[in-house]
Amino acid sequence: MAEYILAIDQGTTGTTALLMDQKLKKVAEASIDFKQHFPKPGWVEHDPEDIWKTTVATVKKVTSKIQKKKILAIGITNQRETLCFWDKKTNKSFSRAIVWQDRRTADFCEDLKKSGTEKLFQEKTGLLLDPYFSGTKAAWALQNWSQLKTALGQGRLAAGTIDSFLIARITGGEVHATEPSNASRTLCFDIRQKRWDDELCTHLGVSKTIWPEVRNSVGEFGRTKGFPGLPDGIPITGVLGDQQSALLGQACIEPGMAKCTYGTGAFLLVNTGSQPYFSDHRLLTTVAWALPSGEYTYALEGSAFVAGAAVQWLRDGLGFFKNAAEVESLAKKVLSSDGVVFVPALTGMGAPFWDPTATGMFTGLTRGTTRAHFARAVLEGIAFQNTDILRAMQMDMKKPLRSLNVDGGASANNLLMQFQADVLGVSLKRPKYLETTSLGAVFAAGLGIGLWSSLQDVEKTWKQDKEFIPKFTPAEREESLERWKVAVKRVLAK
């Protein structure tokens, strides 16, 4: 009789529950969105109770037709950096969560940079001083929300990323824990010493007592207790932040194996093995996962702010087509962009340039330029910016990429994937199952209960849909990249 793994994928706009059997056959999947709160310009908040309600509701949907005692384990993956605060005694939220997109601590980050502490933070955490990360959110909340100050003084304040909040709720308040892929996004965790750091917490003005216990990513975190609709005693055996979960879901288990998730933006991680590489190109160093042995695997990470969003802009802003999938057929009407280059800096530029003031640009326009050229240039621009990030990763590691596995909505675009392979000079592999974030949580939970005995066993279960092999000659590749470099210089010079 079939047995199951339940994955909870808690994302920025909604929660997904996925039920798979032990042969990785999808049994059921359900997603529910929740409300986004924008109290002030640049502020983004979530109600943790909404997150919990959608978690309960999606789990109820996917388990409604099975014997729930057949659920072997639960895996959790989550939006990273978003910070929750709750009562250790009652398990109730003290406030809204401050979301990773929130920019309210920008001035605080600038003050820390001026004080000369960014190098210290980067050396210990692998991160840059930016409102993106959880630590400055915690500092701001402790300074501005009186209920948190009171709870801290009474020893009742628990804080943590979404995984910690879900673990607390699923276990009936018995466990306050996280794991290194999430802890490494807080600015308070020393990724080499593998512990919360007193010096970093002091610089931020955050009490170390609020943070959860850090356990290995794979292994038991606790068991269900009072979870609506589920029996008590189901173990949580795997937890990962979403991008690290996608890295595992893509079976990127060896150093030099990378993944790119093509969503609204593009999120790129490369496995660097047991050694953390600290970037000379303003990429992020992060923990990929920690196995039951306690051994850490590290990764380099870079993000592009705009990927699929550029196609959405062609659709909604310029009215080029009604369905985003139509961009490929439009772009195929021409054999090349005919010299047109698009820099997709529609919301600034991310890694490795980090210019929040940059704006988008088309170059190389002539009277012969058509909508098809625009469409093709947009797809190529997405690939070009990813190539910059991936080349920076190679320089930081001083070794080539072994492979690039792709996922996310835009990875279904064959024209984009082929051009990405061409300008990168590395074969791309697209899996049959594109929801690799959820799959990573399944893999982590399965490893945690011994369904797979090793990462190599996980790799054997990964199934390829299509491989894209580079077709450009080295000269063609460099010629294309040179046009891109010229366009980027114009954007950054503005």
- Over residues 192-250, the pLDDT tens digits come to 999 999 999 999 999 999 999 999 999 999 999 999 989 999 999 999 999 999 999 99
Q: Cα(132)–Cα(267) distance, rounded to whole angstroms?
A: 14
pLDDT tens digits, one per residue of 320-342: 888 888 889 899 999 999 999 99
Contact indicator for 84, 48 with CB cutoff of 8 Å: yes
Q: How many helices (H) and strands (E) does the chain have?
A: 16, 23
pLDDT in tens, 21-77: 888 889 999 999 888 888 888 888 999 999 999 999 999 999 998 888 899 999 999
CA distances from 135 to 225, 280, 337 (A): 30, 23, 44
Residue 326, phi then psi, degrees to nearest 5: -70, -10
Residues 6 or more apart whose CB falls under 8 angstroms from that of 22 comprise: 2, 3, 4, 5, 72, 446, 451
Q: What is the CATH number of domain 4-215?
A: 3.30.420.40
The answer to whether 425 and 419 are in contact (CB under 8 A) is: no
Residue 104 CB burial class (10 angstroms; 0-12, 13-18, ≥19): buried
| pLDDT for res 473 | 93
The rounded distance, in Å, linking the Cα atoms of 35 and 74 is 25
Q: Which residues of the chain are in CATH 3.30.420.40 domains?
A: 4-215, 251-494
Nearby residues of 289 by Cβ (< 8 Å), 6 or more positions away: 179, 180, 181, 217, 218, 240, 244, 248, 296, 297, 444
Chain Cα centroid distance, residue 23: 26
- Indicate left, alpha or beta for 219 from its phi (over 0: left) and psi (-120 to 50: alpha): left
Fold of the domain built from segment(s) 251-494? Nucleotidyltransferase; domain 5 (3.30.420)
Tokens, residue 9: 């994928």
pTM of the model as a whole = 0.87
